[in-house]
Amino acid sequence: MAHRWINTLTHDDVTPLAAFMNRRSVMAGLAAGVGLAGIGGAAQAQDALEPNSYEDITQYNNYYEFGTGKNDPAANAHMLTTEPWSVKIDGLVDKPGDYAMADIMDAMTIEERIYRFRCVEAWSMVIPWNGFELADLLTMAGVQTDAKYVAFETALRPDEMPGVRFPVLDWPYVEGLRLDEAMHPLTIMATGIYGKPIPNQNGAPMRLVVPWKYGFKSIKSIVRITLTDKEPPTSWNKANAREYGFYSNVNPEVDHPRWSQASERPIGGGLFAKRKPTLMMNGYADEVAGLYDGMDLKVHF
């Protein structure tokens, strides 16, 4: 609270009515998708979440294609052209092709999902996303039975992305999920925040959100989705395999080699805001721990 004047807006100031009107549908959506075991926990967890301000969510970002500073994406991402946009869906699908973003939006049901968001750097937010379940998009393309993983790729536009001149990562940014993770009802494609179209710095027009994994799995501005039978390469794992694994589930018991993951710094509470304990699988263990039954999470970090 000490440095409150840095953030002059609270979420009450900037939240469109729609975001709050839809809050009930978050729980309805979860209850419908998660199955009986998940309902109570998910609904309770959702209830207790207080979203960050629109300003926090859209001014403090990681999107290295626009620079590595936390404010660089907000300053530079306006250069990205997001209309028209299409997403190539290929690999082990019945209906491969270039899907126009407008057609995807027509076909999908947009819901609000208020999720915890935990960066591997140990800061966190609560974000009211709008979007649709990735499973619905994959089902539309027709996942073939031999598919085991989903690979994702971000746009690579040197003319529009000042950060890609620097070899910070091996561009384009790529990510991947196991198919069961991708099909899980908590996994969404976000197309909005607080009921408004998702800003470029947050990954317009469509970015992945996997709330139980570290933020870098939630790849932005997706242009390609490939169904495959092999574990796909991922940008941060390619950059440093010892520090960033394929799974990257939020886990307070598995530290990053250079820092603890036991607690996190909530963004927006001021410079002296208290750190809070990090939750197993970012608070979604009731819903997703079963995906990892029998796996050693220290090995598959």
Ligand X SMILES: Nc1nc2c(c(=O)[nH]1)N[C@H]1C(S)=C(S)[C@@H](COP(=O)(O)O)O[C@H]1N2
Structure token digits, residue 44: 């309770």
173 sits near Mo ion (criterion: CB under 5 A): no
The only residue of 30, 220, 245, 246 in contact with ligand X, by rule CB under 6 A: 220
- Report the site for Mo ion in 45-74 (rule: CB under 5 A): 62
Neighbours of 233 (CB within 10 A): 13
Question: Rounded distance, CA 215 to CA 113, Å?
Answer: 16
Interface mask toward ligand X for 152-191; x: CB under 6 A: --x------------------x------------------
The only residue of 129, 132, 216, 301 in contact with ligand X, by rule CB under 6 A: 216
- To ligand X, the closest distance from the beta carbon of 12 in angstroms equals 21
Question: Rounded distance, CA 166 to CA 95, Å?
Answer: 36
119 sits near Mo ion (criterion: CB under 5 A): yes
- To ligand X, the closest distance from the beta carbon of 182 in angstroms equals 16
- Report the site for ligand X in 2-41 (rule: CB under 6 A): none
The only residue of 38, 172, 195, 215 in contact with Mo ion, by rule CB under 5 A: 215
Kindly give, in sequence order, each residue whose CB lies less than 8 Å from that of residue 295, ignoring residues fewer than 6 positions away.
none
Rg (CA), the chain: 18
For 212, how many CA atoms within 13 A lie in the half-sphere containing its CB? 23
Residue 246: contacted member of ligand X, Mo ion, none (CB under 5 to 8 Å, by partner type): none
Judged by CB under 6 A, the stretch of 9-17, 129-137, 216-224, 245-253 that binds ligand X is 216-224
Closest residue to ligand X: CB criterion: 215
- To ligand X, the closest distance from the beta carbon of 98 in angstroms equals 20
Q: Considering the complex, state which of residue 64 and residue 92 has its C-beta at the smaller distance from ligand X.
A: 64
61 sits near ligand X (criterion: CB under 6 A): yes
Locus of tokens 């309770």:
44
DSSP secondary structure letters along 51-109: PPPHHHHHHS---GGG-SSTTHHHHHGGG---SS-EEEEEESBSS-EEEEHHHHHHHSP
Question: Rounded distance, CA 268 to CA 3, Å?
Answer: 10
Among positive and negative, which fits the CA dihedral 76, 78, 79, 84? positive
Interface mask toward ligand X for 87-126; x: CB under 6 A: --------------------------------x-------
215 sits near ligand X (criterion: CB under 6 A): yes
Residue 61: contacted member of ligand X, Mo ion, none (CB under 5 to 8 Å, by partner type): ligand X
- To Mo ion, the closest distance from the beta carbon of 118 in angstroms equals 9
Cα dist from 279 to 43, 129, 144, 285, 289, whole Å:
16, 20, 35, 9, 12
Question: Rounded distance, CA 66 to CA 64, Å?
Answer: 5
The only residue of 219, 225, 279, 288 in contact with ligand X, by rule CB under 6 A: 219
Neighbours of 124 (CB within 10 A): 24
- To Mo ion, the closest distance from the beta carbon of 218 in angstroms equals 8
Residues that bind Mo ion (CB under 5 A): 62, 119, 215-216
Residues that bind ligand X (CB under 6 A): 61-65, 119, 154, 173, 202, 215-216, 218-220
